[in-house]
Amino acid sequence: MAKNGFSPEFMRELKARNDLVEVASQYMTLDKRGYNYWACCPFHHEKTPSFTIQAAEQYYHCFGCGVSGDVVSLVMEMESLPFPDAVKYLAARAKMPMPEMNFDSERTAELKKKKDRLLKIMLTSARFYLQNLYGGEAGAHMEYIRQRELLPSTVKKFGLGASLDYDSLPELLLDSGFSREEIEESGACSVSARGKLFDAQAGRLIIPIINSFDEVIGFGGRILGKKTEREAKYKNTKETMLFNKRKTLYNVNLLKKYKQKNAVPYVIMVEGYMDTISLYQAGFCNVVASMGTSLTQEQARMLKRYAENVLISYDGDFAGQNADLRGLEILKDENLNVKVVLMPEGEDPDDVVRKRGAAAYRACLDNALPLVDYKLHSLERRYDLSQTEGKRAYAQAAMPVIREAPSAAEREDLLKTVRDKTGFTYQSLARDLEEYTPSQKSAPVPPARAVQDKGDKVKKACRFLIGAVLFRLPYAEDAALREEDFPDDVHRALVRYINFCRETGQEIRVSDLFELFGEDTPEFNAILDLNTEERLFGGGAEKYFADCVKTVARRRVQTRMDEITAKIGAETDLSARHALAEELTALARELKNY
């Protein structure tokens, strides 16, 4: 089966001619231990190496952040390339000619055709808006650009444009041969209550939203002049097949190009389009915006491709907003090092750069606070520290924040901050911190706990069975795996692959599986853990394998017994009930054998 348009034969040769160890050594220092190689993970911050390369199987796995992959996914991450470009990169490295892309299924081909049509609509729209901006009728748009002090080169780089009215764009797109359904589905136009296509960005300055592949996937529209209560200052394209705000970072296309030529020690995250454009013009090219949404896990994972350090540079009134603090925790949970840039009260990054200059903004970046320090800083806004009650409440609220600090030295420093703000003695605050315990209400044990434990046991058994066969352990050589015995979708896909290789006489290759599963597939990574941690061939592994076979068999028999029991209760035909009862009795006897 072809994956992403490339045949399995081509992909196997590509990987065979690009040794993972050799390619990885271009990006990190590898330490050989036995048959494997170790390094500090390039995808998250760590001091002790937990990133290992299985040289024989040609895959990598990190015990710290759980990331796994092959030589193609490594190049995708390290070079910030999409799959086809990573393949092209490796083919050039191995001096292999690139084959014609051959999409193997009607559905894949149809989806690609549809996506290509929608992208063409968005590109056509972007070019139309650009022509409008310089066509002599966009005086208000040009005046806004002048007020924002944007240079012509900046306007061109970001592809800014102008929407002049409601009707011109849909008329152009229809005349260009696109159907009403395609135009609406692309998000370029909306449909009125009377069924008429119209440009929802009418009259606005247009800001194209471009993905990391340099494709226009949506638009942001900035209102000109004063807005009414019913109007939003910025309006985005609706979510479509192309555009999902949760999975989008504004300016990621230029960040990617910047990284290909420069080191990116950190990424600056701002709130909006104009902050991004203004900072970029001022020389801060490592900047993106979060599309006006609370930060998401998908955005955090995108950021990790470019840097492990993120500087949050929101407006001056950002501090203490709970929703935003939760967003910062999402970044932290993805093992990103987060700092928060403090802006002057009431100002945003664009204000600082335009009014005070790039050097003033650079000073703000240099004084960015680590996340835990920022949380403590944000607490000051919630309490009146001129009053005794306010000081006490602030000190109490600070304790859980200080407990988050990873080192004793940091906790001591934070306690000193609270001491200076409140006037309480350091010793009393230290005692409060020592005695602090998070308030936890004991949750009742759910009645299905035993079932959950049983399910976990079955899942672990399934993982071990598949892992032992996948990594070709001698004791699992003759083990038969039946797809229907495995409840998890990932497990069933692995069993299909294993059985396909067995039936066709092909060698089972773990590296092939990275074309089926992404790096964020927990069940697949859990099976890789078994091999990397040597549990598959440690002491007692063979006996545990036999126990796992029985566990999976018991589940299969018990599942069938449950199905029959349900059928007996609903069956009205006596002979059919009798037959079901006999089968149930036979299964009960079989269950005793396990």
pLDDT for residue 520 is more than 70 = no
| Distance between CA atoms of residues 64 and 66, nearest Å | 6
Please name which of 291, 255, 256 lies closest in space to residue 273, comparing C-alpha atoms. 291
**pLDDT at residue number 156:** 96
Q: Between 444 and 417, whose confidence is greater?
A: 417
Q: Is this structure's pTM higher than 0.85?
A: no
Please name which of 205, 206, 207, 183 lies closest in space to residue 196, comparing C-alpha atoms. 183
User: 507 CB contacts (<8 Å, ≥6 apart)?
Assistant: 501
- Exposed, middle or buried, 214 (CB in 10 Å: 0-12/13-18/19+)? exposed
| Distance between CA atoms of residues 51 and 67, nearest Å | 9
| Distance between CA atoms of residues 457 and 76, nearest Å | 36
CA distances from 464 to 497, 511, 542, 548 (A): 16, 18, 10, 7
**pLDDT at residue number 180:** 95
**pLDDT at residue number 544:** 87
Q: Helix H segments across 57-208?
A: 71-79, 83-93, 106-133, 139-147, 152-157, 168-175, 180-186
Dmax (CA) for the chain in angstroms is 89
| Distance between CA atoms of residues 548 and 539, nearest Å | 15
pLDDT tier for residue 254 given thresholds of 50, 70 and 90: very high
Question: Is residue 48, in this structure, part of any structural domain at all?
Answer: yes
pLDDT tier for residue 542 given thresholds of 50, 70 and 90: confident
| Distance between CA atoms of residues 413 and 397, nearest Å | 16
Question: Is residue 445, in this structure, part of any structural domain at all?
Answer: no
**pLDDT at residue number 229:** 65
pLDDT tier for residue 173 given thresholds of 50, 70 and 90: very high
Please name which of 497, 496, 507 lies closest in space to residue 472, comparing C-alpha atoms. 507
pLDDT for residue 66 is more than 90 = no
Residue 365 C-alpha from the chain's centroid:
25
pLDDT tier for residue 193 given thresholds of 50, 70 and 90: confident
pLDDT for residue 41 is more than 90 = no
**pLDDT at residue number 251:** 96
**pLDDT at residue number 294:** 72
- Counting Cα atoms < 13 Å in the Cβ hemisphere of 547 gives 9
User: 578 CB contacts (<8 Å, ≥6 apart)?
Assistant: none
* Mean pLDDT computed over every residue of the chain: 84
pLDDT tier for residue 448 given thresholds of 50, 70 and 90: very low
Q: ∠ CA 5-258-274 to the nearest 5 degrees?
A: 105
Mean pLDDT of all residues in 287-316? 84
Contact predicate 189/197, CB 8 Å: yes
Mean pLDDT of all residues in 129-142? 95
Asked whether residue 342 falls in the same domain as residue 271, the answer is: yes
Structure token pair of residue 456: 């976990």
- Could you say which of 369, 394, 414 is where a domain stops? 369
Asked whether residue 389 falls in the same domain as residue 510, the answer is: no
Mean pLDDT of all residues in 513-533? 74
pLDDT for residue 342 is more than 80 = yes
Asked whether residue 413 falls in the same domain as residue 312, the answer is: no
pLDDT for residue 80 is more than 80 = no
CA dihedral over 471, 477, 483, 484, signed as positive or negative:
negative
Question: Is residue 307, in this structure, part of any structural domain at all?
Answer: yes
CA dihedral over 583, 585, 589, 594, signed as positive or negative:
positive
Mean pLDDT of all residues in 434-457? 49
Mean pLDDT of all residues in 450-474? 75
Rounded (10°) angle between helices 273-281 and 349-356: 30
Question: Is residue 320, in this structure, part of any structural domain at all?
Answer: yes
Which CATH number is 188's domain given?
3.90.980.10
Number of Cβ atoms within 10 Å of the Cβ of 380: 16
The span from the first CA to the last CA of the chain, in angstroms, equals 38
pLDDT tier for residue 555 given thresholds of 50, 70 and 90: confident
pLDDT for residue 539 is more than 90 = no
Asked whether residue 227 falls in the same domain as residue 156, the answer is: yes
**pLDDT at residue number 101:** 58
Q: What is the pLDDT of residues 48-61, one digit of tens each?
A: 888 889 888 888 98
Least confident of 178-192, 467-481, 519-533: 519-533
Which CATH number is 13's domain given?
3.90.580.10
**pLDDT at residue number 290:** 87
Question: Is residue 378, in this structure, part of any structural domain at all?
Answer: no
Rounded (10°) angle between helices 408-422 and 371-379: 20
Structure token pair of residue 143: 């005046």
Q: Between 163 and 233, whose confidence is greater?
A: 163
pLDDT for residue 447 is more than 50 = no
Asked whether residue 461 falls in the same domain as residue 344, the answer is: no
- Could you say which of 69, 93, 117 is where a domain stops? 93
Asked whether residue 133 falls in the same domain as residue 23, the answer is: no
| Distance between CA atoms of residues 126 and 160, nearest Å | 8
Mean pLDDT of all residues in 521-539? 74
CA dihedral 316, 319, 325, 328 (to 10 degrees): 50
Residue 359 C-alpha from the chain's centroid:
33
Question: How many distinct structural domains can be found in the chain?
Answer: 5
Mean pLDDT of all residues in 69-77? 89
Residues in the chain, total: 594
Q: Between 507 and 444, whose confidence is greater?
A: 507
Please name which of 364, 266, 255, 366 lies closest in space to residue 318, comparing C-alpha atoms. 364
> Hunting for tokens 């471009």 — which residue is that?
210
**pLDDT at residue number 442:** 34
Asked whether residue 57 falls in the same domain as residue 67, the answer is: yes
Which CATH number is 297's domain given?
3.40.1360.10
**pLDDT at residue number 189:** 95
**pLDDT at residue number 8:** 79
pLDDT for residue 373 is more than 80 = yes
Q: What is the Cα gyration radius of the chain?
A: 29
pLDDT tier for residue 518 given thresholds of 50, 70 and 90: low
Mean pLDDT of all residues in 365-371? 92
pLDDT for residue 285 is more than 90 = yes
Mean pLDDT of all residues in 400-404? 89
pLDDT tier for residue 425 given thresholds of 50, 70 and 90: very high
Asked whether residue 461 falls in the same domain as residue 411, the answer is: no
Q: What is the pLDDT of residues 94-130, one digit of tens each?
A: 999 887 655 445 565 677 788 899 999 999 999 999 9
pLDDT for residue 320 is more than 50 = no
Asked whether residue 431 falls in the same domain as residue 361, the answer is: no
> Which residue range(s) make up the domain with 430?
383-436
**pLDDT at residue number 441:** 37
**pLDDT at residue number 186:** 95
**pLDDT at residue number 582:** 77
Asked whether residue 356 falls in the same domain as residue 404, the answer is: no
Q: Which residues pair with 33 in a beta bridge?
A: 36
